[in-house]
Amino acid sequence: MNDTFIIIPARYGSTRFPGKPLALLQNKPIIQWVYEACKKANCGEVIIATDDDRILSAAEAFGAKAVMTPDTCQSGTDRIYYAAKNLKADYIINVQGDEPFVLTETIKGVADLLKNDTQTDISTACIPTTDFKIIDNPNHVKAVLTKDMRALYFSRSIVPYKRETTPQTQKAPYYLHCGIYGYKRAALEKFVSLPQSPLEILEKLEQLRALEAGMVIKSVLTKKTGPAIDTPQDLQRAKEFAAKL
């Protein structure tokens, strides 16, 4: 029996880029790029969870399994929970549908951490960086991690704050958070049952809900890859990146 499912939430009505999952990147829809990366990771069955018939039809056309979820789902996590409710899955991996260049080793790392670490409720991935343009951008979420890779906090602000500039502090990386999560089934069920938390509301980061509830999030480290796609401008950057592959 397959104990792991990779679920890709794909919503048609993005505010900044309507129809984004079906936008073409080198003659393939973005959602197909994500699906093929997930299949290549070979961690479990891959399912696209969508609220729109057009995405469902496109997914079926390139051979993906897809399920319809209500348009009342408030977030991607709610969508994957709905899709996973009737699956006999111990582990559910949530891979964002706007990450066409997600690395197979990142998906594998998140899945392996979830399965092999008994403390971990939720697994995720981070990229070490010293690029201040990225660090200073509130759209790039930073994670504060312990030595054993447990997340203490996530923020749009620059955290941790470097009180003094020394050769040692200059070398210390920040951790850029990637939008991939692995959930143990009980953790996913608990998470979606919780109300939005105060810090989540302030930062608009739903992973803070889990931390405020005392859940353990641990991270694997991965490397920088091509851009995620939030806007039409990002799609142009993705085309330029894909042309160099």
For residue range 121-178, list pLDDT tens digits in order.
Answer: 999 999 999 999 999 999 899 999 999 999 999 999 999 999 998 999 989 999 999 9
Residue 179 pLDDT exceeds 60: yes
Burial of 130 per CB tally in 10 Å (0-12, 13-18, 19+): exposed
User: Which is higher by pLDDT, 75 or 114?
Assistant: 114
Measured distance CA(26)–CA(238) in Å, rounded:
10
Average pLDDT score, the chain = 94
Over residues 78-95, the pLDDT tens digits come to: 999 999 998 989 999 999
Q: What is the pTM of this model?
A: 0.93
The confidence band for 1, taking pLDDT boundaries of 50, 70 and 90, is very low
The confidence band for 74, taking pLDDT boundaries of 50, 70 and 90, is confident
At 193, the amino acid letter reads S
**Residue ranges of domains in the chain, CATH in brackets:** 4-231 (3.90.550.10)
The confidence band for 202, taking pLDDT boundaries of 50, 70 and 90, is very high
Percent of the chain with pLDDT over 70: 100
For the range 26-29, what are the long-range contacts, defined as Cβ-Cβ under 8 Å and sequence gap of 24 or more? 26/239, 26/242, 26/243, 28/62, 29/58, 29/62
Rounded average pLDDT over 14-27: 93
Question: Between the CA of residue 85 and those of 80, 81, 110, 124, what are the distances in Å?
Answer: 8, 6, 21, 21
- Per DSSP, what are the bridge partners of residue 184? 91
**What size, in residues, is the chain?**
245
Q: Please tell me whether residue 224 adopts helix, strand or coil conformation.
A: coil
Residue 9 has a pLDDT of: 94
Give the number of other CB atoms < 10 A from CB of residue 216: 16
Task: Name the nearest CA neighbour of 35 among 13, 65, 12, 11.
Answer: 65
The confidence band for 77, taking pLDDT boundaries of 50, 70 and 90, is very high
